[in-house]
Amino acid sequence: MAFGGPAEALNSHALMFSGFIQAGFECSSHKRKDGRRLDLVSSTFHDRFVKEDYERLLAAGIFTAREGLRWHLIERTPAVYDFSSALPLIRAANNSGIQVIWDLFHFGWPDHLDIFDAAWVNSFSELALRFARIWKAEASTQSFIAPINEISFLSWSGGDKGFLNPFAEGRGPELKAQLVRGAIQATHAIRSELPDARFVAPEPVIHITGDPANPDDVRSAEEYRLSMFEAWDMLAGRSRPELGGSPEMLDILGINYYGANQWRNFGETIHVGDPEYRPFHQILNEVSLRYSRPLLITETGAENCRRPGWFAYVASEVRTALSLGLPVHGICLYPILNHPGWDDDRHCHNGLWDYADEHGSREIYQPLADEIRKQEQIRTEFIKDIRHDA
């Protein structure tokens, strides 16, 4: 898919999603090393107050959201699929008019499955098929599905470094290949029921610099940096074709990008304003040139008082990307709700809204709300100017 310029890119993004600024509801459901199962949909009370949360989105002018299935609840018993945990969210979205991008796998799977086993792929494919049938029965709108979130991150953290489930070390490439198999098989399963479904492949983008005085370090940093393309290349069939990848498997590229996504090789984080910092729009341009696919910023955000400034930076870089003709279709604030930390239950202040009270009310973080409103006004004028010039 090629775009002729900024006006064409802007026109195309208006047709894809209901809103440009989007909300991501944290939905991680993996197990920790101590055996505790996380369920962020539950611990943020989003499952309890989904109707109220969607009303908040609409009042804030946000019409598109990322949500996630909780596979461990759906398949408690092997080969028995119960979607009662997901149906309230599906129906609330339908009733409110919120457009949802569904994560089928956000780091968690049922206890009876071994993620390295072929049975895991088959079970995940069946989950995808059953979800597609549920969606067909419950909804009449375009389906947007992210089969697996961050193949690269999970294969590194859970397959190489051993700090995320399945807590393996030295098996990163094996886990990455397995996750790609799962995503491909799930995509085929969904398309058998929903041939017009659109698919999002969210992956983290990074930048790493090496010591200019050490050619080996520069080479090592570049090899590491280029690894961010491996999962997308496998899905597209550009590498490891035996996994079943093909160009049709790569639809919308999800870009996950945070303030810690640039660093010096084996060293400290590179921050915005540092001479070595690579502007975000340049990373987007590289991804776009490599794949010629629509782009969606599927995750971005910051903690505490850094939230407004980080959002302003990302929004500005996306406008620059659009002015270059890049097909960026939206920015998803992730997470949209403050939540307990994965490892220590600390109160993470990284959302637009805080914890819910007993009535479902959530305090808004007004500086971020003001910045979102400001950036939307700037974007509206920016789009008018580009279309006028075209």
- Mean pLDDT of the region 65-75: 98
pLDDT for 138 beyond 70: yes
Instruction: Write down the pLDDT at residue 12.
Output: 47
pLDDT for 28 beyond 60: yes
Cis peptide before 241 (omega within 30 of 0): no
Instruction: Write down the pLDDT at residue 13.
Output: 46
C-alpha span between 148 and 303 (Å, rounded): 25
- Which sign, positive or negative, has the C-alpha torsion 223, 257, 40, 355? positive
pLDDT for 9 beyond 70: no
Terminal alpha carbon distance of the chain? 20
Q: What DSSP element (H or E) covers 144?
A: strand 144-148
DSSP string, 233-254: HHHTTSS-GGG---GGG--EEE
Instruction: Write down the pLDDT at residue 4.
Output: 45
* Contact predicate 16/3, CB 8 Å: no
pLDDT digits (tens, 9 = 90+) for 318-336: 999 999 999 999 999 999 9
Instruction: Write down the pLDDT at residue 236.
Output: 98
Q: Name the pairing type of β-strands 362-364 and 353-356.
A: antiparallel
Domain boundaries, the chain: 6-389
Angle between helices 307-323 and 366-389 (to 10 degrees): 10
pLDDT for 3 beyond 50: no
pTM for this prediction: 0.95
Token pair for 216: 């080996």
According to DSSP, residue 160 is labeled T
Angle between helices 6-16 and 366-389 (to 10 degrees): 130
pLDDT for 383 beyond 90: no
Q: What DSSP element (H or E) covers 255?
A: strand 252-256
pLDDT digits (tens, 9 = 90+) for 334-345: 999 999 999 999
Q: Which CATH architecture has domain 6-389?
A: Alpha-Beta Barrel (3.20)
Mean pLDDT of the chain: 95
Please provide the size of the chain in residues. Answer: 390
Q: Which of 7-11, 18-22, 256-260, 287-291 has the lowest mean pLDDT?
A: 7-11
Q: Residue 132 in 3-state DSSP? A: helix
**95 pLDDT tier (thresholds 50, 70, 90):** very high
Q: Which residues pair with 107 in a beta bridge?
A: none
pLDDT for 24 beyond 70: yes
Backbone angles phi, psi at 139, to 5 degrees: -125, 155
What are the residues whose beta carbons fall under 8 Å from the beta carbon of 123, sequence distance 6 or more? 75, 78, 79, 110, 113
DSSP string, 345-358: --EE--SSEEEE-T
Instruction: Write down the pLDDT at residue 15.
Output: 63
